[in-house]
Amino acid sequence: MAYAVAQRIDEVGIRRALGAHEGDILRLASLLYGVSATDPFTFVGGGIVLVLVALLACYLPARRATRIDPMTALRNE
């Protein structure tokens, strides 16, 4: 996002000089076609996907740890 803003800094400066408000500049931040910068479904969906990936990343190693034979683990010490 910082790179995209840096590339358009001249455009933003001209818009501000012509009287654009901060809200108008913030609405220019849409990166996906057809998705606004304040789309609630996109934010909720993205959050749900991140939570699911985090849960899966925690579940798989935990499941593997529950299947370790105690005697094998103690012998490796």
28 plus 8 within the same structural domain: yes
Q: According to the model, what pLDDT value does residue 58 have?
A: 94
Residue 58, domain member (yes or no) = yes
Domain of residue 42 covers 38-68
Q: What percent of the chain has pLDDT over 70?
A: 91
Is-contact 12 25, C-beta < 8 A?
Answer: yes
Would residue 77 count as lying in a domain? no
Query: Total domain count for the chain?
Result: 2
- Looking at the fold, whether 4 and 20 belong to one and the same domain comes out as yes
Residues 6+ apart with CB under 8 A from 15: 24, 25, 28
What is the band of 13 on the pLDDT scale with cuts at 50, 70, 90?
confident
Looking at the fold, whether 42 and 58 belong to one and the same domain comes out as yes
Q: 0.95 exceeded by the pTM?
A: no
- pLDDT per residue as tens digits for the range 49-76: 999 999 999 999 999 988 888 888 888 7
Per DSSP, helices labelled H in 1-77 are 2-7, 9-17, 22-26, 40-66, 70-75
- 12 shares its domain with 31: yes
3-state secondary structure of 57: helix
